[in-house]
Amino acid sequence: MKRDSSKVLFDRAKQVIPGGVNSPVRAFRAVGGNPLFMSHARGAYLFDEDGNQFIDMINSWGPMILGHAHPVVEEAVKKALAGSPSFGAPTRREVEMAELICALVPSIEQVRMVNSGTEATMAAIRVARGYTGRDKIIKMEGCYHGHADSFLIAAGSGAMTFGVPDSPGVTKGVANDTLTVPFNNLTAVENTLKENEGQVAALILEPVVGNMGCVVPAEGYLQGLRKLCTQYGVVLIFDEVMTGFRLALGGAQELYGVKPDMTTLGKIVGGGLPVGAYGGKKEIMSCVSPAGPVYQAGTLSGNPLAMAAGMALLTYLKDHPEVYKNINNAGSRLATGLLAQAKAAGVKASVNQVGSMFTLFFTDVVVTDYDSAKKSDTVLFGKYFQRMLEQGIYLAPSQFEAMFISNTLGEKELDKILEASELSFKDLSN
Ligand code: KE4
């Protein structure tokens, strides 16, 4: 039986799903054209419903760090599935997963599993508010922490892509409790803390930003935030949903040697299944119900299937440190190569890279925060995206995302990406 093409599927999808997608950034609105509907994936490759093959540079927005359908994860999930995917009762796997996360992430003494990055960040700020008795939070312009109301103020990722960094539907009351400051600006943070002394419960940020595109913390910035949060009694929350287990086994906090009070996790922690987690100092986490009064719950939190996938992936990463060397080398090779190609073609570009996270910005301005990221030529990015797609390279469909490299990018794939990119830049400059 002939299967519907991506085009037909998208027409059908738009009848029954808002915008035809279950997450906005997938809709290709920022890059033009219709989204491709994927049928399956394996290793470094995606296969769409029309039989086309693509080298995957999204990897489910981060989780597929070992590539698609890795046997270690697949075997673990099959085994767990045989025992029923969920009971809603405590299980051995949850204990083992919590012990593993506490062992790997420097700042985490206790952790609670949830079902998405949004749930993790939403819960983390509630706990910080319950622990401090304060109402306000500080977030950075352009950082994205999921779609909870408190974060849809000057938000990055899809919100930035579609020009709705302050979403309708977020009440003034909620918005008033979210203070925003530019990333990489310690003075702005100190002034905001002074002006709101005794009212700020938490400061939350992506320690290396992925959701404005990749933006790197300036020398001493994270250390400065640590000092200010300690001085003002503010809970410092590193949102490591993207950087966790990607930049290092212990995340950005291991890489930069800065210990937050709480950490949020997602993506890689679930091995491709819906998992999020939040954790931190025992003193703070002991406020969480039923140990303490701050309520947070979830029907499928810590379910056996998701724990099996996450445990298998994290254990593999722990036992194979060479994965980080491989993906970091791939990140450097691509970041340097793409930038050189852009310059050779006379295309204005700059690049930010930390290990396997990088973004090529279509501006010659060095991108250090939201305002400089917004200087990028998103129309030109869209044209580049489409040319790469035509040549079988599937990039994130937004200038304001990082590349997500998997360990299955070998010489062949890297050469193909660079070759396709060189052609794309040449077309852009004609
Ligand atoms: P989820 O609720 O989408 O699992 O996680 C939200 C989240 C929280 N914190 C950070 C740092 C994140 O990057 C995310 C989600 N990332 C986006 C991609 N930049 C998810 C992709 C999408 O929205 O479809």
Concerning whether 282 is annotated as a catalytic residue, the answer is: no
C-alpha to C-alpha distance for 99 and 109, rounded to whole angstroms: 9
Which of 136, 139, 267, 374 does the annotation list as catalytic? 267
Residues in a beta bridge with 179: 138
Tokens at 352, concatenated: 């930010």
Whether this prediction's pTM lies above 0.85 is answered by yes
Q: Rounded to the nearest 5°, which phi and psi values hold at 128?
A: -65, -40
- Which CATH class, in words, describes the domain spanning 71-319? alpha beta
Q: Which residue has the higher pLDDT, 139 or 160?
A: 139
**pLDDT (tens digit per residue) in 369-397:** 999 999 999 999 999 999 999 999 999 99
Average pLDDT over residues 180-198: 98
416 carries an active-site annotation: no
Q: Which two tokens stand for residue 13?
A: 């999808």
Task: Compute the distance between CA of residue 367 and CA of residue 375 in angstroms, rounded to an integer.
Answer: 9
Question: Taking Cα atoms as reference points, which of 261, 266, 414, 393 lies closest to residue 334?
Answer: 414
User: Nearest-CA neighbor of 54 among 76, 29, 35?
Assistant: 35
pLDDT recorded at residue 3: 82
- At 393, which amino acid appears? I
pLDDT in the model for residue 34: 95
Higher pLDDT, 412 or 154: 412
How large is the average pLDDT for residues 195-204? Answer: 98
Give the tens place of pLDDT for each residue, 42-89: 999 999 999 999 999 999 999 999 999 999 999 999 999 999 999 999
Average pLDDT, the chain: 96
- Greatest extent of the chain over all pairs of C-alpha atoms, in Å: 67
**Token couple for 8:** 């037909």
Which pair of structure tokens corresponds to residue 119?
């749930």
Q: What pLDDT, in 10s, does the model give residues 200-217?
A: 999 999 999 999 999 999
The pLDDT of residue 376 is: 97
Q: What is the predicted pLDDT for the residue at 162? A: 76
Q: Give tens-digit pLDDT for 104-123.
A: 998 999 999 999 999 999 99
Q: Which of 69, 57, 72, 119 is nearest to 298 (CA)?
A: 119
Residue type, position 415, single letter: D
Q: CA–CA separation, 240 vs 262, rounded Å?
A: 10
Rg of the chain over Cα atoms, rounded to whole angstroms, equals: 21
Kind of pairing, strands 45-48 and 53-56? antiparallel
**240 Cβ below 6 A of ligand 1:** no
Q: Which of 25, 149, 157 to mutate to test the pocket of ligand 1 (most atoms within 8 A of CB)?
A: 157
Give 182: exposed, middle or buried? Use CB within 10 Å, 0-12, 13-18, 19+.
Answer: middle
Q: Which residue puts its alpha carbon closest to atom 7 of ligand 1?
A: 146
Catalytic residue among 48, 56, 136, 144: 144
Q: Which of 28, 29, 61, 151 to mutate to test the pocket of ligand 1 (most atoms within 8 A of CB)?
A: 61
Contact assessment for residue 143 and residue 209, using Cβ atoms and an 8 Å cutoff: yes
> Tell me: the pLDDT tens digits for 51-62?
999 999 999 999
pLDDT tens figures, 349-369:
999 999 999 999 999 999 999
Backbone angles phi, psi at 34, to 5 degrees: -100, 145
Asked if residue 296 has its Cβ within 6 Å of ligand 1, the reply is no
Name the residue ranges covered by the structural domains of the chain. 4-69+321-429, 71-319
> Taking the CB of residue 13, how many other CB atoms lie within 10 A of it?
18
Does residue 308 surpass a pLDDT of 80?
yes
Q: Is 139 one of the catalytic residues?
A: no
Question: Exposure pattern of 332-349 as b/e (b: 16+ CB <10 Å)?
Answer: ebbbebbbebbeebebeb
* Residue 323 in this model has a pLDDT that exceeds 90: yes
Structure confidence at residue 409 (pLDDT): 97
Helix, strand, coil percentages for the chain (3-state, nearest 5): 40, 15, 40
Only one residue has tokens 């359908």, namely 69
Question: Would you say how long the chain is, in residues?
Answer: 430
Topology given in CATH for the domain delimited by 4-69+321-429: Aspartate Aminotransferase, domain 1 (3.90.1150)
Q: With beta carbons less than 8 A apart as the criterion, state whether 305 and 77 touch.
A: yes
